Structure 1
Amino acid sequence: MKIETMKIFTTSQIKQCDRLTIENDGITDIDLMERAASACTDWILAQYQRDEHFYIFCGNGNNGGDGFAVARQLSKQRRKVSVFSASEHKQLSKLAQINFNKAKAVSGISFFHFNELKTLPIKDNAIIIEALFGTGLNRKIEGETAEVIDILNEIDLAKISIDMPAGLFADDLPEPESSIFKADTTLSFQFWKKSFLHPETGKYCGKIYILNISLSKDFIENEPTENYVIGEELIRKIYQPRNDFSHKGTLGKTAIVAGSLGKMGAAVLATKSALRSGSGLTFTHAPKCGSETLQITCPEAMFVANGKNFAEEFNFEDDQTLGIGPGLGTEIGTEKAFLIFLKNHKKPLILDADALNIISKDTTNLSLIPKDSIITPHPKEFERLFGKTKNSFERLELGRKKAVELGIFIILKDHHTQVITPENEVFYNITGNSGMAKGGSGDALLGILTSFLAQDYPPKHAALFGVWFHGKAGDFAAERFSKEAMLPSDLIGQIGEVFKYLSKKNPSH
């Protein structure tokens, strides 16, 4: 059973949760391990219903215990199973030893040592299951186990990791030049791990499935954390279905400030996404050179000229909610007018792309961003704004510091985009896909965010809902057009499907 748990816990917190579950449920630690193994086995049996041969690689610790238990359970379901483990079993953990002994008692399982992998041919219909370390790893893998990982990574077969790929740490980056198992699928227990969600480490995990093993609800509810996944349960609480008695005057005034000579497509994409996202009245402030383009492609929006070829005027009605930046350009006239505007504007707004590039020219400009505003930098824009970092973990910590310091929401765009709040919280988004890695996707995001903010979603809710919504529309677009062929305009075309999805009480999509 797949669940979408909101909280992300550290390794030590997960161990506490395990202990409390054992105490409260009146079970033993071996019972909890059996529960975890059963969740993995059920998933594997549902996924593979043919004549596959399962090669299970077990470490000496409790993750190896999971692997031995899975081997026994699969064999009892008449599946072909071979188990590989270290040459010496003297250092097996207590639970691993118990499950190793139970697996040994099953006549249908073949047992091998790691050092036999080089000479034993692996069948073409094999599935490799890795259960070497899990979250228990706290050092670089070396020796025989590292050699096994390197060999397995060269084999072109489906690979599954139990809990997390060997070589990764749950909460941080691995050591340089570590041997890391590259899984196609990771079956993890109850919680997302931080390392699943960063590009340097997540690339080893493949498709991630979070399996419910009924850990303590009291612990999960009461244990504090600053790290979360944006789960669908949260989104359904945030979503505000349209009131049947609403009208265009009650659904916000969205003002998109975008476009310049040669970059009017950005303004079109941002405007279309704002319109599709439910904005009551939508205005596009853009140079005169784009008036025909915008009025033909976005007839539902009102055009307001702010210059000839580049934006030189930043004048708005007080009740408009502003999204500024896509294709804006960084001309001197634009920069001067934009910074003067920022000095006098106090309401939350959305800033993206060239708006951020203008601000980044002088770090003192950061203080001009109104409190509770939302900025949407990709990693390079983030670097220009706040400085270089060594990796995405370090970048996130700098983002936390700056969000608190400036009192703003930072949407740090990445494979798993992070929403960083002024309260030092981080929400990772798990919708979206690599098909969105095309110019124009960010313009669509700005339109969605600005529309939601205009519709009176609080800034935090607008940020969380907007990022999830944008990714979900991207997922629908990829499903329809493929990741390779989908366009940002296809994403915008799927916005209505996301609203329809949210309107269903029991969605099956």
Structure 2
Amino acid sequence: MKIFTAEQIRNGDQYTIKNEPVLSIQLMERAAQTCVDWIFENCKNHRNFAVFCGSGNNGGDGFAIARMLYLKGFDVDVFTNQKAKFSPDANSNFKDLKEISGISIRELKEAKDYRFDNRTVIIDALFGTGLSRNLDGEFKNLIEFLNLKNNIKISIDLPTGLFADDISPVDSAIFKADYTLSFQFWKKTFLHPESGKYTGKVQILDINLSSDYISETETNDFVIDDEVVKNIFRIRSEFSHKGTYGKATIVGGSYGKIGAAVLATKSALKTGAGLTFTLAPKCGYETLQTSNPEAMFIEGGIDFVNNFQVDEKTIYGIGPGLGTNEETAKSFLKFLKEYSKPLILDADALNIISQDKKNLKLIPEKSIITPHPKEFERLFGATENSFKRLELAKSKAKELKIYIVLKDHHTQVVTPEGKVFYNITGNSGLAKGGSGDVLTGILTSFLAQNYSEEESALLGVWFHGKAAEFASEKHSKESMLPTDVINEFGDVFAKLNAKLERAL
């Protein structure tokens, strides 16, 4: 799915109005109806809605939602500035609302005297994407007041106070929603930690904007959704053999950190690599052979790896539990000077590279590196926030001609061409040591199976997150382990295969 800016979305509205054709008020009605359908399905135990409406089209959505909720039998109170100059469509819906005697229309300032009982849902339709400045005065005070309420809070299209395309200043007043009902597209700010914390759970509602406009409008920002994955994943041919699915070699482990290599190796095996090897120190031999008997062991040292073997016929995933021993670092950097094929670099492999900025140029072109924010900082320097970090990642991916998988709540895959793909699978259960080792195994395996570097990265992060969702359903986010995630790989593949088979 494409991610559009607020301006592109407004242009999409106008294109749809002109070319469908449909009246703007009808498009607003369509958007409001999709919200009401979702609210009716998910808020059946709540009887009262307090709807806060601005003077623009977001407020117009709110007026229409209030009317439709009332007609479905809910009690509705609307708060707005009745003396404001409304947009034409908002004004039309406000007039329709005033004709319904059962809906109470109040001034915004009356909210402080309103009784918000535990069955009242607060709906925010104040500004949406129309806001281009920090809230102040009456609106700032209102948002700060509403945020103190324990009621369920729903934002329409975008929480009030939040910018659609960039980070809001630290001291901004922003409505903190439990749910955000957004029209047609993800907004960029939904996907960054500093701003995404205000959206709650995001629901993307299809309002049938022009498919021609969507396909023809260019962007460099995308969401990795099911459609993207379906276009990448390939069903296994019945007439295939182990040589068809490549050779993967996990390089990692050191005394006390063999478990990381175990996780990465098991992950590579379970995601379908034809042949899987583990290059690790001798101290991990018994553990690795016992835990992963399907993988072959290559001795790379005694207590740490100090002998990196160059094999141009394998795909390397280097870093899990590797350590940064001086001999390990020396051997690894020598290996990078001699090896030219794309590979996967994570964890201590990145930490070794970060010891000298000159080492960055040793990373083979088209390689995939998978830093978490702190590792990224050690590699490329500190940034003010995640938006700035992403811009730096785009610059470095282009400069080094590599793929950067920037791990975060919504992991970003950054391509050398400047495209950014946000992953929306996964959950906070992955915030545990070992999760990155699992991802390294997945990426190494997919690259070995002749998926392209971009395909491997997109499919890999989506797959990792999807398995984590399944694991959390069985074990909870708190209790799930990286091994639980690996154990869900079969179910993810089963669902992928079933989807593709139905499509044939």
- Normalised-by-shorter TM-score class: over 0.9
Matching residue of 2:354:
360
1:61 matched to 2:56? The reply is yes
Matching residue of 2:119:
125
- Alpha-carbon spacing, 1:507–1:476, altered in 2? closer, same or farther (3 Å): farther
Matching residue of 1:161:
155
For 2:469, which of 465, 468, 475 is the aligned residue?
475
Cα drift, residue 505 of structure 1: 2.6
Where 1:118 maps in the other structure, the secondary structure is helix
1:144 matched to 2:141? The reply is no
Matching residue of 2:389:
395
Matching residue of 1:215:
209
Matching residue of 1:3:
none
Cα drift, residue 49 of structure 1: 2.2
Matching residue of 1:339:
333
Q: Which runs of 5+ in 2 are unaligned?
A: none
Question: CA–CA distance in 2 between the matches of 1:107 and 1:216?
Answer: 37
Contact 1:65 1:95 (8 Å CA) reproduced: yes
- Alpha-carbon spacing, 1:506–1:212, altered in 2? closer, same or farther (3 Å): farther
Contact 1:168 1:201 (8 Å CA) reproduced: yes
Cα drift, residue 157 of structure 1: 1.2
Question: CA–CA distance in 1 between the matches of 2:13 and 2:114?
Answer: 37
1:324 matched to 2:318? The reply is yes
Matching residue of 1:259:
253
Contact 2:46 2:121 (8 Å CA) reproduced: no
Matching residue of 1:405:
399
- Residues 392-471 of structure 1 correspond to what in structure 2 (within 5 A)? 392-471=386-465
Q: Structure 1 counterpart of 2:7, which letter?
A: S
Q: Structure 2 counterpart of 1:29, which letter?
A: S
Contact 2:263 2:483 (8 Å CA) reproduced: yes
Q: Structure 2 counterpart of 1:490, which letter?
A: D
Q: Percent identity?
A: 59
1:81 matched to 2:79? The reply is no
Q: Structure 1 counterpart of 2:478, which letter?
A: E
- Alpha-carbon spacing, 1:249–1:507, altered in 2? closer, same or farther (3 Å): closer
Q: Structure 2 counterpart of 1:80, which letter?
A: D
Cα drift, residue 51 of structure 1: 4.7
1:17 matched to 2:9? The reply is no
Residue deviations 1:58-87 (CA, integer Å, cap 9, x gap): 11111011000000011111111111112x
Q: Structure 2 counterpart of 1:415, which letter?
A: H
TM-score, normalised on structure 2? 0.98
1:41 matched to 2:36? The reply is yes
- Residues 275-286 of structure 1 correspond to what in structure 2 (within 5 A)? 275-286=269-280
Question: CA–CA distance in 2 between the matches of 1:50 and 1:264?
Answer: 51
Question: CA–CA distance in 2 between the matches of 1:126 and 1:51?
Answer: 6
Q: Structure 1 counterpart of 2:236, which letter?
A: R
Residue deviations 1:388-447 (CA, integer Å, cap 9, x gap): 100000000000000011000000000000000011000000000001100000000000
Question: CA–CA distance in 1 between the matches of 2:46 and 2:329?
Answer: 65
Residue deviations 1:204-254 (CA, integer Å, cap 9, x gap): 001101000000111100101000001111101100111112111221111
Matching residue of 1:386:
380
- Report runs of 4+ in structure 1 exceeding 3 Å deviation: none
Contact 1:501 1:507 (8 Å CA) reproduced: no
Alpha-carbon RMSD: 1.2
- Alpha-carbon spacing, 1:107–1:456, altered in 2? closer, same or farther (3 Å): same
Cα drift, residue 50 of structure 1: 3.3
Cα drift, residue 506 of structure 1: 8.1
Q: Structure 2 counterpart of 1:484, which letter?
A: E
TM-score, normalised on structure 1? 0.97
1:90 matched to 2:81? The reply is no
Contact 1:85 1:112 (8 Å CA) reproduced: yes
